[in-house]
Structure 1
């Protein structure tokens, strides 16, 4: 990191899997600032409030229409809601509404240089493309190219609006943390009120790991059964139409509403399932299609989620080995050998198992326990270049018995607030969207507890991180018995233009193996590997990777098979030093020299990619 960048307060969202009881209902994302200059994690609440006010937009003011009608929204962007069939087998029946946002191209649409829209999906299932483009649309435009519109959309995914009888006790500006599948309708909701959902979430927060207690796995199984049953009880007959193949059809409608017949798309994580599904269903409509952080579609549609963690332990070891290589000035948990650092982490685990750490600050009180730390470490594997340095400082504090630094980060999650104005929360994120899409898409699975135990034991053979992954499929255990007649493969197609698949050499949840497997089914497709840990290419900065992606979108040129791209930022950024004799200062100057040697265009691309890494828009799905 350069001295200038270390002085900035860098924002990004770190998702967690229902971390601890002191967090409020939406325990998935934590907003925080990292200040490298003082090596402390800080929050500027004034800035956060200003951000919420700036990013507010009244989506209820847009009526869904059959044609795209764009309205100015947020900051220099445009929003719309497109009407599509709820059930494509009955196109004249009930409709759904898809919320869209675009960062307009810098090139006029009537110019021969204009290349049309590129749709973005950040994964999930249920991630908000609207939120992604609100936060990162200009950055994505810089990477892909100014000749394209960048389009984010919230997939269909909810069952009914909230009733109109909430009370509200805060008086600040309208809430604008509209994350997740939200502004598109209908919506997936298993709860009659927000308060009911909050109580359910808090109750489950202590079992984010199935190793958190002797009965955690059994409790997770029981909660999964309850959620599946609630899904059926609260369904208003729209839930069955929340599937990936319907979303793929929605994407085709979105492109056609732009006057285009070929899809241009960049999908991350679950977005790779959506992209591969589109390509297999509509091979003749593929224009430029990038899937990044590629999942095994067969494993996904079988509702196994059993092949994701093949490289998770290796990704964790990249933290350990990287800390040794970085030295004590860059990694606060440093020890001379990997074995010694692992021993420190084991000591932290054992201490928290025996006795959680009570924490008191000026604004809150709570505790840090084993489950919290376990979940935070796994979440950090998604965004190692953004979080490993801070994670090392947190673990170093915990090793000394101090949980304050972690607690101060986690407590910034906004407290749950009741509301009397339904408009305030009608477009907020509902975590049920994840399970609605996942369970509707996938094959039915056995609800027997013994079979859940067997699945978990097999998952443990794959990775030591099975304990934080095992919950994802549990709401499907007693899911409504909808017909499974939607598209589930095969993923074999001769597409009208070959796909580009991108994968990291050490991805904790989408191993590079899956990208190579999926590529075999799509004629002419190429796998581009990025030599880095983290989830999806935007976990790090690689000019090589992003230039290939831009070249693919702009000119249709694929990299040579077997291409592996290096990355251009350190895993543990050196701490700036006032003493030029320190090695870290020399390394920091080396990074400065690297950037200074870039052309103006490459420097612009580098800075946009670096900011995108710090935003970390690809999120760890929460539990049950």
Structure 2
């Protein structure tokens, strides 16, 4: 009863990675950028043509086939992937350049652009060579992020609402309904609301497939192929770098692009030429179990204030993190392009429906009672976040678009290099026991066990884990277990309620010397996801 009441009171609170939050964060970054970067200003290309963006980041729009297999009605259409990178601290011509690390955003429906803008520099620090690299040896990496198909800055975008105001109103309505099980009527309300949105949206894409057809091409299979293309285009860039080396060796007589400052200067000059040419408390609990180190303290304060009949801190928390912004008029571009256009910003969370429903088996036509029974099983797994997770698949019972390419397995392989799986002792989403299953499918795979709570390694701050990850990217070596342990185990350096807060200075742990790695780990914990 207590948990149900709290969930009902707090269904409008923070979601860990909502597109709405990410969009607000990006808008703030854009506002701080004197140049106010516009993705539409970049002409898409089948190779990377990088542009300055968001201060010292680089952005590009990579054009890829909408249908990689070429069997559907969309065989001749394309997708324009929004890609951002944090450049390595050494030029690509430097022997220490290690290549690109591509981050795959979660969700589904999360923005990889926002992910890298917020934490890409910290990831670069974490994985690249540090002060312990002898004689200046070690690798330095570019960090890439991208918005997957249908998401945010990648076009075409999955759009289920006519504009941002309609999307905000729907979010307020959804918050008021709560989650399945938060009241006697919540299941009926959530069932009707989410199905209505999913049915109307998916039917519009099915019936108007001739417009773009994107709803059939957002599955993980297609996105995985996009990631391969990102790597292949990056490798093409490296071949392009050879142009600079050969030009410099050829000299000014043989190469009109020659620059006495060396190959890097030649490539920079060519790149500039190209650029110029192309121009709820339920959700609070969810946040606790995802990010205990970061959220325990503030949540404890909120709960204490509520117990004292003071809801001001909770109201501030909701306003800052989730409540949609309706204090604006629709822009001129939206009024010009019309409802459901990308300019109107009605894509809030819609891609998550399309991706999740594409990856799973069809639930279309599943009855209300059948789904209620499924929801009960999910709720039984966790009284803290079970109600939220029970909602995720509901839209699929009314989602009509089916994927042109869906991968069913098998999920086993002998990879070119052994995979390192990392898991926390208590993870509410990807429990560590799943690693044992994954390791069986991938020959030679290793494991790092971080003895902490929360979702993903950035839920805590552990220099031990940071060193293992850096070593893996620097040398490819898998961590070795200590005596008496089956796998490598790392402990956290900070714990909830030990004076660690989101804003306070966090001194380097005793005995540690790599301040840059420490700052990167703390930074990721505070800003991701």
Counterparts of 2:91 and 2:454, CA distance in 1:
36
Q: 1:405 corresponds to which residue?
A: 313
Q: 2:223 corresponds to which residue?
A: 247
Unaligned residue ranges in structure 1 (runs of 5+):
1-15, 32-44, 158-180, 263-371, 577-587, 619-624
RMSD: 3.1
Q: Is the 8 A contact 2:29 2:54 kept in 1?
A: no
Q: Does 1:191 align with 2:161?
A: yes
Q: 2:325 corresponds to which residue?
A: 415
User: What TM-score do you get using the length of structure 1 for normalisation?
Assistant: 0.66
1:378 Cα shift?
1.8
| Superposition map of 1:324-473 within 5 A | 372-412=280-320, 413=323, 415-416=325-326, 417-422=328-333, 426=343, 430-445=348-363, 447-465=366-384, 466-473=386-393
Q: 2:511 corresponds to which residue?
A: 597
1:557 Cα shift?
0.6
1:107 Cα shift?
1.3
Q: Is the 8 A contact 1:229 1:479 kept in 2?
A: yes
Match of 1:231 among 201, 206, 209: 201
Q: Is the 8 A contact 1:18 1:28 kept in 2?
A: no
Q: SS state of the match for residue 472, structure 1?
A: coil
Counterparts of 2:173 and 2:193, CA distance in 1:
10
Does the C-alpha gap of structure 1 residues 261 and 448 become closer, same or farther in structure 2, counting only changes over 3 Å? farther
Corresponding residue pairs, total:
440
Counterparts of 2:464 and 2:432, CA distance in 1:
17
Does the C-alpha gap of structure 1 residues 553 and 200 become closer, same or farther in structure 2, counting only changes over 3 Å? same
Q: Is the 8 A contact 1:504 1:536 kept in 2?
A: yes
Does the C-alpha gap of structure 1 residues 537 and 119 become closer, same or farther in structure 2, counting only changes over 3 Å? same
Instruction: Give the number of the structure whose alpha-carbon radius of gyration is greater.
Output: 2
Counterparts of 1:155 and 1:444, CA distance in 2:
21
Counterparts of 2:331 and 2:401, CA distance in 1:
36
Unaligned residue ranges in structure 2 (runs of 5+):
1-6, 130-139, 239-279, 336-341, 481-485
Does the C-alpha gap of structure 1 residues 402 and 527 become closer, same or farther in structure 2, counting only changes over 3 Å? same
Q: Is the 8 A contact 2:120 2:143 kept in 1?
A: yes
1:221-259 deviations in Å (ceiling 9; x for gaps)? 222322331232221322011111100000011100011
Q: 2:232 corresponds to which residue?
A: 256
Match of 2:141 among 134, 145, 148: 148
Q: Is the 8 A contact 2:13 2:281 kept in 1?
A: no
| Superposition map of 1:469-480 within 5 A | 469-480=389-400
Q: 1:64 corresponds to which residue?
A: 44
Q: Does 1:522 align with 2:442?
A: yes
Q: SS state of the match for residue 228, structure 2?
A: helix
1:433 Cα shift?
1.0
Q: 1:565 corresponds to which residue?
A: 490
Does the C-alpha gap of structure 1 residues 567 and 477 become closer, same or farther in structure 2, counting only changes over 3 Å? same
1:508 Cα shift?
1.3
1:17 Cα shift?
12
| Superposition map of 1:474-553 within 5 A | 474-480=394-400, 482=402, 485-553=405-473
Q: Is the 8 A contact 1:154 1:183 kept in 2?
A: yes
Q: SS state of the match for residue 115, structure 1?
A: strand
Counterparts of 2:349 and 2:412, CA distance in 1:
32
Does the C-alpha gap of structure 1 residues 387 and 575 become closer, same or farther in structure 2, counting only changes over 3 Å? closer
Counterparts of 1:402 and 1:60, CA distance in 2:
46
Does the C-alpha gap of structure 1 residues 190 and 254 become closer, same or farther in structure 2, counting only changes over 3 Å? same
Specify which structure has the higher proportion of helix: 2
Q: Does 1:610 align with 2:522?
A: yes
1:7-66 deviations in Å (ceiling 9; x for gaps)? xxxxxxxxx999557999x977669xxxxxxxxxxxxx9x99975512542111111101
Does the C-alpha gap of structure 1 residues 477 and 530 become closer, same or farther in structure 2, counting only changes over 3 Å? same
Q: Is the 8 A contact 1:191 1:197 kept in 2?
A: yes
Q: 1:109 corresponds to which residue?
A: 92
Q: SS state of the match for residue 81, structure 1?
A: strand
User: What TM-score do you get using the length of structure 2 for normalisation?
Assistant: 0.77
Does the C-alpha gap of structure 1 residues 259 and 51 become closer, same or farther in structure 2, counting only changes over 3 Å? closer
Specify which structure has the higher proportion of strand: 1
